[in-house]
């Protein structure tokens, strides 16, 4: 019997081909968890296999009734009421609510609540604000350089301590036998996000950007709850410039548009992404538990389903963040622009998690030298940026693999582009280029998803690594036997469970307009100065009419229907 209560086939499961296994064995042995104690890790997805009651962490999700019917209406109502007294009271209230939103998180389900993480984020904000002010006030270049180095180093050390100490200690133990034990560290919620925001702030101050902010504005910029725990990674200039008296006057326009974008985000997350998770999760669990080999069909369905799941999950979250923020009259930057419609990997990274790409480009790739120091240095910088980007997503070997794959893709893409231009070749047909890009991205998501088995409480790096290997084995060199429906547990590949959600997801991702296209000129995202606000009206575009109100209501009704699932957002773990 397997853990799903279904029979395991007689004959068992043979792991990937001996060649692949032999190649992986040394790495796998090195990754075998040997340390006493547990490295810093936190349950991200509620995986039935690895779910541990004591490890489930309550977070106030946008997709909960508590948030939608209690926290948000209360925050909004008091925000506008206080705005009648003075707009500053409203921003103080918003900051307080954002801190409550953050403090709602309880890192370990069976442990009492602790103010430690609230103190940590406020202390981090205070320290960075003071450091930024000291840099701004100083006219001595050496002192400015020393201060910014210190500030960035402290931020990175904090991130390293909470997020990476465990994994590096595990690796060190596997290689050298030291240290004997790793303390159990809890990864503070959103530490990666608020650290990046503040590093960008310090670097910009050092570069001479005008940053005459009050501490209240700065604290609200970092802790503003719509973007606090999973982005978008906003820039201080984008957000603080909007903290003005006008936001405290309730605007029917902002409320109508905000509700619409919030409803679309909820639909993407709860209906589409969680529906696709029902297809992807059991397939990845089969690969992880190795109860049997995956068929070719299962492996591709699993990889495609997860690729769509993570897109709808994260873009849904970003929509919700933009929608919630719009209710307060504040615009957040776009994070997604139909990334699977990209025709190259370079294009993909201009459409996927756009605010992270921007951060990595401006604060890592360009300072490293970017493309200004010759091709070799450029490719090195690209690889380094993407590997660190992978590591940012998760302290695990498979996240490094994901980053490395994307680094390689980018190098190949740049090299190909250079070669094509030098030889005078025409670009590849867009459909073929799009298909190639999509397949490359799907393949890279496999180790990314397998990384969950490393982050889960009962998981380890070896398990994540083997899961990826088993997946690639089935996708590229399927074992003898059925190619599509497995002999046992065939329910996974049933049309209504696998094919229908997958095709629906693909059609929505490739054929339907994205949220900002649907909203058109009403889209509430933060626009760069060069971006035109006006877009052509389409017959299918959103407009403030009763039919659109009914549409939004129906979206919410379908969301309510699916809301009992109670999944978490994938990007909370980062």
Q: Which residues bind other proteins (CB under 8 A)?
A: 1, 7-12, 14, 46, 48, 51-53, 56, 58, 64-66, 69-70, 106, 109-110, 113, 251-253, 255-257, 259, 543-546, 548-550, 552-553, 556-557, 560-561, 563-564, 566
Nearest approach in angstroms of CB 537 to other proteins is 14
Phi and psi at 181, nearest 5°, equal -140, 145
Within a 10 A sphere around the Cβ of 3, how many other Cβ atoms?
10
As a 3-state breakdown, the chain gives helix, strand, coil percent values, each rounded to 5, of: 65, 0, 35
User: Which run of H or of E encompasses 297?
Assistant: helix 296-327
Q: What does the DSSP assignment read for 131-180?
A: HHHHHHH---HHHHHHHHHHHHHHHHHHHIIIIIHHHHHHHHHHHH---S
Nearest approach in angstroms of CB 100 to other proteins is 13
Integer-rounded Cα Rg, in Å, for the chain is 24
- Of the CA atoms within 13 Å of residue 211, those in its CB half-sphere come to 29
* Nearer of residues 106 and 377 to other proteins, judged by Cβ: 106
Q: Which of 173, 393, 406, 466 is catalytic?
A: 393
What 3-state DSSP class applies to 229?
A: coil
Within a 10 A sphere around the Cβ of 67, how many other Cβ atoms?
20
Nearest approach in angstroms of CB 11 to other proteins is 6
**Structure-token pair, residue 543:** 């407009």
What 3-state DSSP class applies to 230?
A: coil
The conformation of residue 36, written as its DSSP 8-state character, comes to B
- Is 224 in contact with 100 (CB distance < 8 Å)? no
- Is 473 in contact with 17 (CB distance < 8 Å)? yes
What is the Cα–Cα distance from 529 to 532, expressed in whole angstroms?
Answer: 8
User: Which run of H or of E encompasses 405?
Assistant: helix 397-423
**Structure-token pair, residue 215:** 């501490």
- Is 57 in contact with 109 (CB distance < 8 Å)? yes
What is the Cα–Cα distance from 88 to 212, expressed in whole angstroms?
Answer: 17
**Cα–Cα separations (whole angstroms), residue 443 to 118, 121, 386, 436:** 39, 36, 16, 11
CA-wise closest residue to 337 among 326, 348, 323, 324: 348
What is the Cα–Cα distance from 124 to 113, expressed in whole angstroms?
Answer: 20
Query: Crossing angle for the helix pair 296-327 and 461-476, nearest 10 degrees?
Result: 120
- Is 24 in contact with 32 (CB distance < 8 Å)? no
Buried b / exposed e across 486-519, counting CB within 10 Å, b at 16+? Answer: beebeebbeeebbeebbeebbeebeeeebbbbbb
393 is catalytic: yes
Instruction: Map tokens 């489930």 to a residue.
Output: 56
**Structure-token pair, residue 369:** 């030298």
Residues with a catalytic annotation lie at 393
């Amino acid at each position: 019997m397997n853990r799903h209560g279904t029979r395991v086939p007689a004959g068992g499961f043979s792991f990937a081909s001996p060649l692949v296994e032999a190649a992986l064995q040394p790495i796998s042995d090195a990754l075998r968890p040997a340390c006493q104690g547990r490295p810093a890790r936190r349950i991200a997805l509620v995986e039935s296999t690895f779910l541990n009651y004591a490890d489930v962490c309550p977070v106030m999700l946008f997709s909960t009734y508590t948030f939608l019917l209690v926290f948000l209406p209360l925050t909004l109502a008091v925000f506008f009421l206080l705005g009648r007294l003075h707009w500053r009271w409203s921003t103080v209230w918003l900051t307080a609510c954002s801190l409550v939103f953050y403090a709602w998180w309880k890192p370990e389900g069976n442990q009492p609540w602790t103010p430690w993480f609230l103190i940590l984020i406020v202390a981090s904000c205070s320290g960075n604000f003071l450091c930024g002010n000291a840099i701004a006030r100083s006219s001595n270049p050496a002192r400015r350089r020393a201060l910014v180095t210190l500030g960035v180093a402290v931020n990175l050390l904090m991130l390293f301590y909470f997020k990476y100490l465990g994994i590096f200690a595990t690796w060190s133990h596997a290689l050298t036998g030291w240290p004997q034990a790793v303390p159990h560290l809890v990864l503070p919620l959103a530490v990666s996000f608020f650290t990046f925001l503040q590093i960008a702030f310090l670097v910009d101050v050092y570069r001479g950007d005008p940053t005459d902010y009050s501490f209240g504005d700065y604290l609200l910029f970092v802790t503003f709850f719509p973007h606090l725990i999973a982005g978008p990674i906003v820039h201080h200039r984008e957000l603080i410039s909007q903290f003005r008296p006008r936001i405290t006057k309730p605007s029917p326009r902002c409320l109508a548009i905000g509700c619409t974008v919030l409803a679309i985000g909820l639909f993407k997350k709860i209906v589409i992404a969680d529906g696709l998770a029902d297809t992807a999760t059991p397939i990845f669990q089969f690969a992880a538990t190795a109860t049997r080999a995956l068929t070719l069909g299962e492996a591709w369905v699993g990889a495609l389903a997860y690729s769509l799941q993570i897109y709808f999950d994260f873009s849904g979250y970003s929509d919700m963040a933009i929608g919630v923020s719009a209710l307060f009259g504040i615009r957040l930057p776009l994070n997604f622009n139909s990334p699977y419609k990209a025709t190259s990997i370079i294009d993909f990274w201009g459409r996927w998690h756009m605010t992270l790409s921007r951060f990595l480009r401006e604060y890592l790739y360009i300072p490293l030298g970017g493309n200004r120091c010759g091709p070799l240095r450029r490719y090195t910088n690209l690889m380094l940026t993407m590997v660190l980007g992978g590591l940012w997503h998760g302290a695990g070997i498979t996240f490094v693999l994901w980053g490395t794959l994307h680094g390689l893709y980018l190098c190949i893409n740049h090299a190909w582009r250079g070669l094509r231009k030098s030889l005078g070749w025409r670009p590849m047909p867009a459909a073929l280029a799009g298909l190639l890009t999509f397949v490359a991205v799907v393949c890279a998501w496999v180790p990314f998803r397998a990384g969950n088995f490393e982050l889960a409480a009962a998981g380890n790096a070896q398990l994540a690594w083997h899961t990826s290997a088993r997946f690639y084995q089935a996708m590229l060199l399927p074992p003898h036997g059925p190619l599509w429906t497995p002999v046992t547990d065939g329910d996974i590949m049933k049309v209504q469970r696998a094919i229908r959600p997958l095709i629906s997801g693909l059609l929505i991702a490739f054929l339907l307009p994205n949220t900002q296209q649907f909203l058109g000129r009403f889209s509430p995202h933060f626009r760069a100065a060069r971006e035109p606000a006006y877009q052509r009206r389409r017959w299918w575009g959103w407009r403030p009419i009763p039919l659109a109100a009914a549409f939004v209501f129906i979206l919410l009704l379908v969301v309510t229907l699916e809301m009992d699932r109670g999944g978490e957002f994938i990007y909370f773990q980062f």
